Amino acid sequence: MSMPQEYTNGSSSYADYLQWDEDFRCEAFDGVIVKMTPSPTPGHQEIQLELSVEFGTFLRGKECKLFTAPLDVCLFATSETPNEEIKNWVQPDLMIVCDPKKIEEKRIIGAPDLVIEILSPATARIDRLTKYHKYEEAGVKEYWVVDPHHETVEVFVLQDQSFERTNVFTKSDAVKVSLFPDFEVPLNKIFP
């Protein structure tokens, strides 16, 4: 079933979403549906792949797990939350989850530990504003905003329930990952 018009007014739940066409990709913020953009550009995909290689190599054999879009994240839910009560879900470009109890068969329940969003002209506003605030409220510990056009990465770390921007990194920098003090990502590998 395609998305009925009445679900665009803030009343949508995750239960509704599960009834729609399987190919329909969307996110929801307080029950308001935001359709996902068409497939990402090759540049976006290349950056996502390089980040996946860096994080995936480091995390191999560790408890924390790396996931990429499309995978639903029900930000404020627990495993006991009925789907009808879930009003916020996202599909981050990349995420790291360190609590195995949050990993369900077809989704992540609760806030990932680290989220990375790769900007595109169509998603920049949502990634920088709406998702920033939702990730902060949900308790994401570290949030990266990757800007392919400017070849920068902004890193935000949760401090006392609020994000603090640690820095804006450029292609010549290496980003230390606050979750893993012995790991850094050289951005010259991410922005070829």
pLDDT tens digits for range 104-159: 999 999 999 999 999 998 889 999 999 999 999 999 999 999 999 999 999 999 99
Tens digit of pLDDT for each residue in 46-104?
999 999 999 999 999 999 999 999 999 999 999 999 999 999 999 999 999 999 999 99
pLDDT of residue 8: 58
CB-based contact 114:143 (threshold 8 Å): yes
> Residue 114 to residues 23, 72, 131: CA-CA distances in angstroms?
26, 15, 13
DSSP the chain: -PPPGGGGSS---HHHHHHS-TT--EEEETTEEEEPPSSPPHHHHHHHHHHHHHHHHHHTTSS-EEEESS-EEETT--TTS-GGG---EE--SEEEE--GGGB-SSEEES--SEEEEE--TTTHHIIIIIHHHHHHHHT-SEEEEEETTTTEEEEEEEETTEEEEEEEEETT-EEEPTT-TT-EEEHHHH--
Give strand pairing partners of 176.
184
Structural domains of the chain in order of their starting residue, each with its CATH number: 40-70+90-190 (3.90.1570.10)
pLDDT of residue 37: 76
pLDDT of residue 122: 87
pTM for the structure as a whole: 0.93
pLDDT of residue 28: 94
